Chain A
Amino acid sequence: MGIVVFFLAAAAAIATAVAVVAQRNPFVSALALLGNLVSLAVLMLLLEAQFVAIAQIIVYAGAVMVMFLFVIAYVGPRGEVGPGERKPWQVWLAILAGTLIAIEVIVVTYGATFEDWAEIDGNYGSPAAIGQELVTNYLLAFEVVSVILFMGAVAGVIFGTGGRPRRLSNDEVLAKETESAELRRREASRAVLDATRESMGEGS
């Protein structure tokens, strides 16, 4: 049973991964990525990594994908790659390089002999076990990652806001008000002028 699920999920993972890069429509790509993440979560469940599987679905399939779709919807069709921008030799080179790496990984893992399997107990990969690891053995990494997240927020503010809104001085406020008053006055006089022209046109 496990092996059937594995091959189903693995096939789905590969197919959706190909779809992510092959699709021209960014929406379809994003949805394919969603499928990819879910099939990976199934693979992780098979590896007894319940926590990682659920975290993958909640964080990536949930939060991150929603943000992706949001950005795609916001940017719209401008983000699409035109047909002229892809160079054929790049595609072939990428396929060649990818195939070579795949062959390398297959050769290496196929040639390796796994004699001493690691023994794991039933608690392995549970949220409790992972939580405990995070605050004991990996405390430093855990803390540093929190600083990284903070840094990401700072970066977002820098690029997101552009220039910081500046508080205007009294003189500047006054200048702006005069300017808009002037604009209103001109508009009103133009309207009067137009009305006069119209009435004159009717008269002739």
Chain B
Amino acid sequence: MIQGPSVDWIAIAPEVALIVGAFGLLLLATFARAYERGLSIVVGLGALAVSVAFSVAAWGNAPVVTMADAFRVDDLTELVRITVAIMAALVILLSVGWARFREHGSEFTALLLLVCAGMGVVAGSTSFVTLFVGLELFSLSLYVLCAFDGKSRASLEAGFKYLVLGTIGSIVLVYGAAFLYGATGSFMYGGVAASLAEGGSHDSIVTLGTALVLIGLLFKVGAMPFHMWVPDVYEGAPTQVTGFMAGATKLVAFVALARIVLEALPAVEHLWSPVLIIAAVVTIIGGNIAALVQTNVKRMIAWSSVGAAGYALIGIIVNGSDGLRGLVFYLAAYAFTAMGAFAVIAVFERDQVREKGYATLDGMRGWGFSRPFAAMAMVVFLLAFAGFPPTAGFIGKFVVSGTAVTHGYAYLAIIGAIGSVIGLGYYLRVILSMYDRSRKSDVGLPASPGLGGATLVILICLAVVLLGGIVPGILLDWSGQASAFLAVVK
């Protein structure tokens, strides 16, 4: 009789709730086709709420390692779980009025729940094996969600491009993990770190493994020069899915990157630190310059999110407790900003659905007068992207840059500031276009179906972005508490 490993069910309850929710929803929807949309909303939000409740209840507890040491539940895992689940709930709210949601609502919601479960697994991974299966679970589901708008060629193209390029990223990551396993004899982060600390004779293999793992992860976070999938995928995917990717996927990928370089590879910091510094510089400058010439607003924000990955990298490079706190805070705040901005674009697209209009700078001319609330919210989100007070984006960039200066990376802070100034150039173009008086129409747009959900999403994001900027204390404390579990502190 084989003795299975002990399973701490409470610790993995959030993922179990999501997976059970996904399976249960598909089963229920089969027997109650007529109520599919309502069922999807209720079961989807219900499963997410249960998952969040378990995470909140475990917040602040001592870390738990379970399932043969393959999964670690600490406050960082909880923070990621909670943020991701809230993002998913916002996606469901944004999808309420979507025609495709009416046809395939149960599948869409089930896949979304599986994405969240996969992200939880990635956030709590303690070994390359757990990381990879979690990564594949959420990536594969996301590929499908990107291509979900089956009637739109752009959506299918986005899903396909994401599938091919994302798979290359995963393969490179696994290849690197295999080399590290060959050099250290362990898939566990702790085992790899211990073996590297002793010093081995396989230096060149360690170098190759580290390089490949870094490439794979930089691919996932969308940092230059591995960013090429970001603009096309963000532009083509259904807008609420784009918002989810910009927020949740980035957070999870960065937590995975931070866990690997700080928990598995601290002994070879001389290898990964210069790589990340160069990537950060190139990403901040390149992403922002490329965004400057875009005329499609979705694509513009995609490029700016490439630039945002550069700021987050600074948090990992600095690697002190302050740096990591800044990283976690910046990413969490960014998630809500991005989701809010894409929610506004979704509202715009719904207004234009008859003309098949895209959210181009030209198309948005004068739109701010027709939908004053959404446009005002967009202004706040864009200022948060650029790092203006009193938004959470300002605090995030401030903390990240400030720690860079105090830890001797002042040049990174300067580059970040230059990037922000470039960023202002294109964010202002969007604002000017929305409030272009020459195209002002006096006719208010009628409320279209499903906009209630979008308004709620915009309100929630607006509240988080503003509260995070005005009273950042609580959120900073939470981020600090979570990032304290990212092992090594210089």
Contacts and interface: CB of A to CB of B under 8 A. Distances in A.
Interface of A: 104-105, 107-109, 111-116, 118, 132, 135-141, 144-145, 147-148, 150-152, 154-155, 157-159, 162-164
24 contacts: A105-B208, A109-B205, A111-B204, A112-B201, A135-B2, A136-B3, A140-B70, A140-B71, A140-B133, A144-B130, A144-B134, A144-B137, A147-B114, A147-B117, A147-B137, A151-B137, A154-B107, A155-B111, A155-B141, A155-B144, A157-B107, A158-B107, A158-B144, A158-B148
Contacts of B71: 140
A154 B140 contact: no
Interface centre among A116, A132, A144, A152, by most B CB within 10 Å?
A144
B207 interface: yes
B104 interface: yes
Most chain B CB neighbours (cut-off 10 Å) among A111, A138, A147: A147
Given A138-B70, A140-B71, A151 B205 contact: no
B185 interface: yes
B335 to A, nearest CB: 23
B68 interface: yes
B23, B141, B147, B185, most chain A CB atoms within 10 A: B141
B140 A139 contact: no
Interface string B46-86: 00000000000000000000011011000000000000000
A164 B107 contact: no
Contacts of A109: 204-205
Given A135-B4, A154-B110, A162-B150, A141 B133 contact: yes
Interface string B77-115: 000000000000000000000000001100100110010
Contacts of B129: 138, 141
Nearest to B148: A158
Interface centre among B26, B110, B144 (most CB of A within 10 A): B144
Contacts of B118: 144
Given A108-B205, A112-B201, A136-B68, 11 more contacts: A113-B201, A116-B201, A135-B2, A136-B5, A138-B70, A140-B68, A140-B71, A147-B137, A151-B140, A154-B110, A158-B150
Contacts of A113: 201-202
B134 A136 contact: no
Interface centre among A132, A139, A158 (most CB of B within 10 A): A158
A104 B471 CA distance: 51
A144 B133 contact: yes
Contacts of A104: 208
Contacts of B68: 136-140
A114 B147 CA distance: 46
Interface string B169-213: 000000000000000010000000000000001111101100000
A158 B110 CA distance: 12
Contacts of B110: 154
B19 A148 contact: no
A113 B205 CA distance: 10
Contacts, number: 99
Contacts of B436: none
A86 to B, nearest CB: 17
B121 interface: yes
B208 A108 contact: yes
Contacts of A107: 204
A154 B26 contact: yes
A87 to B, nearest CB: 17
Contacts of A145: 133
Interface string B17-36: 00100010010000000000
A185 B244 CA distance: 56
A151 B107 CA distance: 10
B349 interface: no
A148 B140 contact: yes
A31 B105 CA distance: 40
Contacts of A136: 2-5, 68
Given A104-B208, A108-B208, A135-B2, A147 B19 contact: yes
B136 interface: yes
B453 to A, nearest CB: 22
Contacts of A147: 19, 114, 117, 137
Nearest to A152: B140
Contacts of A154: 26, 107, 110-111, 144
Contacts of A164: 103-104
Contacts of B201: 112-113, 115-116
A90 to B, nearest CB: 15
